[in-house]
């Protein structure tokens, strides 16, 4: 069944641009589809959507689907070089919002066009989304979903995504997970309340004002919510919330435990997955308390095994590359990169982790991000979790820099709440808890370290602070 716009029972709300009903979205999407077709967009073409969160983003993607094409959500903050790279590899037929860097791409500055209610043929692109990666491990690539733009609005999407909900969209809609759950929720009956940008006070205000029942967060957002004064984050304000999902980045155990204490473990889910959807795991808050640090067991037909660099399977407790298997057919296709998927359908995103005796997965870090200090492989996420447990640190990132003696030295950058917080205090705090794995140098910044989706670009940070 095709569902390019929501059913009549669904409504899309936005803090940017006001409310939008399903009837209004139907007309706006149809009008935009006519405009795209006039600009030469054909079925199965890709259309870049470079718009901020809000009603226009929803209209743009619905209009692209209505035209039989595939939306490619991109960050409006892309650099010229990144935009040029994505356009060269992805070859979009048109762009909405963000001006294309390459010639020959039709441009619509806005999703708002003259009304045109003429009926269109019922078309469904063979790929329902083509999402660029964050570039956290190198140059961005494009992940094209293998699934067509078809959806049964009567069928639940996943066990952790309720069929009916008022969903509070807090993250950037150009991010794969936010895009997926916002639109799949909308098309199966969710009412969306869309934040233009995450703010912890506003998040709580919107939960109360709209009776939000479900939402997705990343650990950075969870940390900012917990840093609000106790009277501001009174748990009674969350009475409407049935469940919250968090994913997108490793969650430090201290942060996770504090969040479970605040919201209640029965109302918190965690999912581990990539944009590729080649496998996923799920764990409830109650399960996590019994297995701190785990991201759960495979769901949706996902099998998991841990292999060393020679392809040998490792026993429980031994860390190695995480390989997943989810069905015989690939769930994605890369543009601008090569997949690691093997002939038997096993695939890896180059994350390092281990399984316990009951098949629960624990993530250590990305293989590409591991710091090799004199042969000692150190996971940056471990260092970041310790630094972020300090009450004066808002966020942290750890990375390796070249060292003549050890190969790599451990450095970190922190954003602190108190600009006068002595770095020597943080170095001692880390050394007490990490020993020889503690950073030898800590840099300070006043700028956010992670992007709006909670992602880090450690290679870029290493290049920046190596020369300071």
pLDDT at 12: 56
Domains and CATH numbers, the chain: 11-194 (3.40.50.12780), 250-368 (2.30.38.10), 370-466 (3.30.300.30)
DSSP state of 379: -
How far apart CA 173 and CA 194 sit, in angstroms, is 9
pLDDT at 466: 66
The token duo for 414 is 């922190």
pLDDT at 248: 83
| Residue ranges with strand state E in 173-307 | 191-194, 214-217, 243-246, 268-273, 280-284, 294-299, 302-307
Per-residue pLDDT of the chain (468 residues; tens, 9 = 90+): 344 444 444 455 555 567 899 999 999 999 999 999 999 999 999 999 999 999 999 999 999 999 999 999 999 888 888 889 999 999 999 999 999 998 899 999 999 999 999 999 999 999 999 999 865 555 779 999 999 999 898 888 888 999 999 999 999 999 999 999 999 999 999 999 999 999 999 999 999 999 999 999 998 899 899 999 999 999 999 999 999 999 988 888 989 999 999 999 999 999 999 999 999 999 999 999 999 999 999 999 999 999 998 999 999 999 999 999 998 899 999 999 999 999 999 999 989 999 999 999 999 887 778 888 876 778 888 898 899 889 889 899 899 888 877 788 899 999 987 767 788 999 999 999 998 889 999 999 888 888 877 777 787 787 787 654
How far apart CA 343 and CA 286 sit, in angstroms, is 37
pLDDT at 419: 66
Give the N- to C-terminal CA distance of the chain in Å, as an integer. 56
CA dihedral 170, 256, 303, 136 (to 10 degrees): 60
Burial class (CB in 10 A: 0-12, 13-18, 19+), 386: buried
DSSP sequence for 294-335: EEEEEETTEEEEEE-TTSPBPPTT--EEEEEEE-SS-SEEEE
**Residues 408, 401 contacting (CB under 8 angstroms):** yes
């Amino acid at each position: 069944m095709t569902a390019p716009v929501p059913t009549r029972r669904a409504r899309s709300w936005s803090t940017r641009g006001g409310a939008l009903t399903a009837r209004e979205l139907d007309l706006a999407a149809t009008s935009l589809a006519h405009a795209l077709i006039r600009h030469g967009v054909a079925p199965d073409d890709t259309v870049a959507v470079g718009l901020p969160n809000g009603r226009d983003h929803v209209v743009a993607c619905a209009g692209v689907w209505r035209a039989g094409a595939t939306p490619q959500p991109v960050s409006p903050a892309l650099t010229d070089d990144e935009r040029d790279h994505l356009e060269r590899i992805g070859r979009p037929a048109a762009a909405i919002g963000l001006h294309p860097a390459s010639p020959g791409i039709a441009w619509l500055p806005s999703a708002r066009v003259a009304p045109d209610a003429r009926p269109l043929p019922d078309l469904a692109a063979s790929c329902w989304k083509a999402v660029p990666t964050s570039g956290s491990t190198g140059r961005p690539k494009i992940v094209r979903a293998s699934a067509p733009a078809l959806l049964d609005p009567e069928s639940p999407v996943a066990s952790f995504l309720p069929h009916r909900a008022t969903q509070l969209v807090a993250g950037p809609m150009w991010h794969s997970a936010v895009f997926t759950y916002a639109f799949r929720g909308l098309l199966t009956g969710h009412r969306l309340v869309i934040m233009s940008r995450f703010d912890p006070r506003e998040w709580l205000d919107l939960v109360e004002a709209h009776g939000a029942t479900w939402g997705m967060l990343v650990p950075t957002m969870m940390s900012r919510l917990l840093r609000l004064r106790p009277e501001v984050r009174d748990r009674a304000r969350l009475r409407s919330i049935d469940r919250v999902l968090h994913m997108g980045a490793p969650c430090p155990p201290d942060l996770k435990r504090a969040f479970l204490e605040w919201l209640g473990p029965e109302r918190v889910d965690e999912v581990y997955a990539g944009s590729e959807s080649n496998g996923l795991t799920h764990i409830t808050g109650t399960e996590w308390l019994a297995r701190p640090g785990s991201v759960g067991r495979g769901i949706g037909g996902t099998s998991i095994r841990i292999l060393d660099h020679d392809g040998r399977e490792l026993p429980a407790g031994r860390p190695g590359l995480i390989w997943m298997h989810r069905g015989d057919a690939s769930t994605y296709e890369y543009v601008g990169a090569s997949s690691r998927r093997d002939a038997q359908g096993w695939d890896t995103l180059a994350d390092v982790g281990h399984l316990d005796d009951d098949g629960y997965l624990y993530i250590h870090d990305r293989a590409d991000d591991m710091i090799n200090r004199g042969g000692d492989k150190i996971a940056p996420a471990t260092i970041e979790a310790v630094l972020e447990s300090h009450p004066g640190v808002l966020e942290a990132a750890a990375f390796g820099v070249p060292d003549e003696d050890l190969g790599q030295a451990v450095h970190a950058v922190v954003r602190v709440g108190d600009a006068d917080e002595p770095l020597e205090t943080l170095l001692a705090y880390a050394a007490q808890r990490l020993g020889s794995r503690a950073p030898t140098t800590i840099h300070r910044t006043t700028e956010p370290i992670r992007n709006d989706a909670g992602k880090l670009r450690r290679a870029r940070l290493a290049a920046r602070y190596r020369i300071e």
